[in-house]
């Protein structure tokens, strides 16, 4: 099925970015929201993305205007009655998304594919709110959508294979790299990224481990595009906490959110959008009376007990690697797609190749040994994935042995 026209529901940051990506590929797109002012503001956000291209000399003002002719605003869902694909980008609330999909089901043609940009919620549950679950699929773009090459394609339990094929072709037409992911809480990228970020917060929580700036600088020196705390502040600590809670409900104690992350959210330190998170972005006068990071950290340490641990980048990295192996065991995605997704979706350094290639470089036996040491000192969240021990016992120890998660 060829996609001639697209609707985007939710004209916030991600909705506007997705609309820009679609229009840049030459496909007409209608940006819908609950109020006309919100929809028009979304269209102006699309224009601002294009204007940044013009300012950098990457397109002409005339080309900007040509692209903007493809973008229109709609104050409600009724304007989406003739689109071939709808991409929903409203807040991460299952009840809200189900209501939107129920309404789209009434408005859109029976042939229209209904896709959700959710980063962690159940596609099957969203599809169950419609009479066309076979036409419902996850299509998860990454922020910023105009720059990040990866798109996760997530079939629900009832999604038709043809629907999956159609959205893969559409993603490729946008010059994106689609990776098909088996439905699970957090899908692929967020399921691996969340334990990495959470472990960084736990490291900060440890007495004397390292400062925010030191941890960020060390992870950037490893090759990550941003340090974990800079990334958390950019994503929004409240959003990161909600994803962590979703994963905790599904996967148990190893995904328990760091108490310091919860304390920061409760204190209103949500990141850049609030003017302060792990870093302060406003002056003391502008922030007013607020609890400092140091104060909150000390409060959490008093409640949880101080643990003196030296900082090592292995903690957040092996939290990610261990979850990647668990995901591979569960057949959520192939080893190739896991690494492709983490490089394309998080900026995991190209020279490391992704978490599974990185494990092969370290040596699977070394990874297993480090995880066992962390398990003894830090608890069950570092319990090694069973596949690791099986690989070590079989001599599949990575690059040096010529075989690990990949062949060399």
Question: Which residues, other chains included, contact 243 with Cβ-Cβ below 8 Å and sequence gap of 6+?
Answer: 92, 119, 120, 186, 190, 194
Buried b (16+ CB within 10 A) or exposed e, 159-169: bbeebbebbbe
For the chain, the farthest-separated pair of C-alpha atoms sits apart, in whole angstroms, at 63
Contact present, 88 and 10 (Cβ < 8 Å): yes
Distance of CA 155 to the CA centre of its chain: 17
Q: How many CB atoms lie within 10 A of CB 380?
A: 10
Q: Which of 117, 152, 180 is the last residue of a domain?
A: 180
Residue 48 lies in a domain: yes
Q: Of 124, 155, 180, at which residue does a domain stop?
A: 180
pLDDT, tens digit, 9 for 90 and up, residues 205-264: 987 678 999 999 999 999 999 999 999 999 999 999 999 999 999 999 999 999 999 999
Neighbours of 344 (CB within 10 A): 21
In a domain, 387, yes or no: yes
Q: CB-based contacts of 126: which residues, under 8 Å, 6+ apart?
A: 94, 97, 98, 101, 116, 118, 136, 156
Mean pLDDT in the chain? Answer: 94
Q: Are residues 176 and 310 in the same domain?
A: no
Phi, psi at residue 358, to the nearest 5°?
A: -60, -40
Same domain, 291 and 232: yes
Distance CA(267)–CA(274), nearest Å, equals 11
Q: Can you state the angle between helices 364-378 and 386-393, rounded to 10 degrees? A: 140
Q: What is the pLDDT of residues 179-212, one digit of tens each?
A: 999 999 999 999 999 999 999 999 999 876 789 9
Beta bridge partners of 74: 32
CATH of the domain at 104: 3.40.50.720
What is the mean pLDDT of the segment spanning 97-119? 96
Specify whether 212 is located in the same domain as 277: yes
Task: Indicate whether 406 belongs to any domain.
Answer: yes
- Does 211 share its domain with 253? yes
For the residues of 34-52, what is the DSSP string, one character each?
SSHHHHHHHHHHHHHHHHH
Residues 87 and 235 in one domain: no
- 326: in domain: yes
Are 282 and 234 members of one domain?
yes
**Which residues, listed in sequence order, are joined to residue 71 by a DSSP beta bridge?**
29
CA distance 145 to 63: 20
CATH code: domain of residue 304: 1.10.1040.50
11 pLDDT band, cuts 50/70/90, is very high
| Domain around 90 | 6-180
CA-CA-CA-CA torsion sign (369, 371, 374, 376):
negative
Both 173 and 259 in one domain: the answer is: no
**Token representation of residue 327:** 């995901």
Tell me if 111 is assigned to some domain. Answer: yes
Query: pTM for this structure?
Result: 0.90
| Residue 66 per-residue DSSP state | H
The kind and range of the H/E element at 393 are helix 386-393
Both tokens assigned to 164: 């999956």
Residue that finishes a domain, picked among 180, 198, 224: 180
Rounded to whole angstroms, the Cα distance separating 139 from 166 reads: 11
Rg (CA), the chain: 22
Count of CB atoms situated within 10 Å of the CB of 82: 12
pLDDT over 70 for what percent of the chain? 98
Alpha helices, DSSP H only, in 236-311?
Answer: 237-251, 259-266, 284-287, 293-304
Segment 281-329, tens digit of pLDDT: 887 666 666 788 999 999 999 888 767 788 999 999 999 999 999 999 9
Tell whether 235 and 135 lie within a shared domain. no
Same domain, 211 and 143: no
CA 342, CA 26: separation in Å to the nearest integer? 28
Residue 209: its pLDDT value, please? 73
> What is the pLDDT, as a whole number, of residue 282?
82
Burial class (CB in 10 A: 0-12, 13-18, 19+), 192: buried
Q: How far is the first Cα of the chain from the last one, in angstroms, to the nearest whole number?
A: 40
Look at 139-143, 175-179, 305-309, 378-382 and tell me which has the smallest mean pLDDT: 305-309
Residue 1, in any domain of the structure: no
Checking if the pLDDT of 143 tops 70, the result is yes
Q: CB-based contacts of 343: which residues, under 8 Å, 6+ apart?
A: 349, 350, 353, 354
189: three-class secondary structure by DSSP:
helix
Point out the catalytic residue in the list 102, 140, 357, 366.
140
Q: Clarify whether 140 is annotated catalytic.
A: yes
- Give me the number of domains the chain comprises: 2
Shared-domain flag, residues 273 and 374: yes
Flag whether 226 is in a domain.
yes
Q: How far apart are CA 116 and CA 166, in angstroms?
A: 15
Q: Contact, 144 vs 234, CB < 8 A? A: no
Separation between Cα atoms, residue 342 and residue 327, nearest integer Å = 13
Short-list 291, 46, 286, CA closest to 144: 46
Q: Which helix (H) or strand (E) holds 170?
A: helix 161-173
Q: Is residue 255 located within the same domain as residue 273?
A: yes
Residue 267, in any domain of the structure = yes
Do residue 161 and residue 258 come from a single domain? Answer: no
């Amino acid at each position: 099925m060829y996609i001639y026209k697209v609707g985007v529901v939710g004209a916030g940051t991600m909705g506007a970015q997705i609309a820009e990506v679609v229009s840049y590929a030459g496909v007409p797109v209608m940006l819908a929201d609950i109020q006309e002012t919100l929809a028009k503001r979304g269209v102006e956000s699309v224009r601002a993305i294009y204007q940044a291209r013009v300012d950098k000399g990457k397109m002409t003002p005339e080309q900007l205007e040509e692209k903007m002719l493809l973008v229109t605003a709609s104050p409600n869902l009724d304007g989406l009655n003739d689109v071939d694909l709808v991409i929903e980008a409203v807040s991460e609330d299952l009840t809200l998304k189900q209501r939107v999909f129920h309404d789209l089901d009434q408005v859109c043609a029976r042939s229209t594919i209904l896709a959700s940009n959710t980063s962690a919620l159940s596609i099957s549950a969203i599809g169950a709110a419609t009479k066309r679950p076979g036409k419902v699929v996850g299509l998860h773009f990454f922020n910023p959508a105009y720059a990040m090459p990866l798109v996760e394609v997530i079939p629900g339990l009832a999604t038709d294979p043809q629907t999956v094929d159609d959205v893969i072709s559409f993603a490729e037409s946008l010059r994106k790299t689609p990776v098909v992911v088996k439905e699970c809480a957090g899908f692929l990228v967020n399921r691996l990224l969340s334990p990495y970020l959470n472990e960084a917060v736990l490291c900060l929580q440890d007495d004397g481990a390292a400062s925010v700036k030191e941890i960020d600088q060390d992870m950037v020196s490893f090759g990550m595009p941003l340090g974990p705390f800079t990334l958390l502040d950019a994503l929004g600590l409240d959003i990161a906490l909600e994803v962590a809670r979703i994963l905790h409900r599904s996967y148990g104690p190893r995904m328990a959110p760091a108490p310091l992350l919860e304390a920061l959210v409760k204190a209103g330190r949500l990141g850049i959008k609030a003017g302060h998170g792990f870093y302060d972005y406003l002056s003391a006068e502008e922030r007013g009376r607020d609890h400092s990071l140091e104060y909150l950290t000390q409060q959490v340490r008093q409640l949880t007990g101080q643990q003196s641990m030296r900082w090592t980048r292995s903690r957040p990295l092996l939290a990610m690697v261990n979850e990647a192996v668990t995901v591979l065991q569960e057949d959520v995605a192939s080893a190739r797609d896991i690494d492709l997704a983490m490089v394309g979706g998080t900026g995991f350094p190209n020279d490391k190749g992704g978490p599974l290639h990185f494990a092969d470089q370290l040596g699977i036996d070394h990874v297993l040994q480090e995880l066992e040491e962390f398990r003894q000192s830090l608890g069950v969240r570092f319990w090694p994935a069973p596949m690791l021990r099986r690989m070590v016992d079989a001599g599949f120890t990575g690059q040096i042995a010529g075989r690990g998660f990949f062949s060399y």
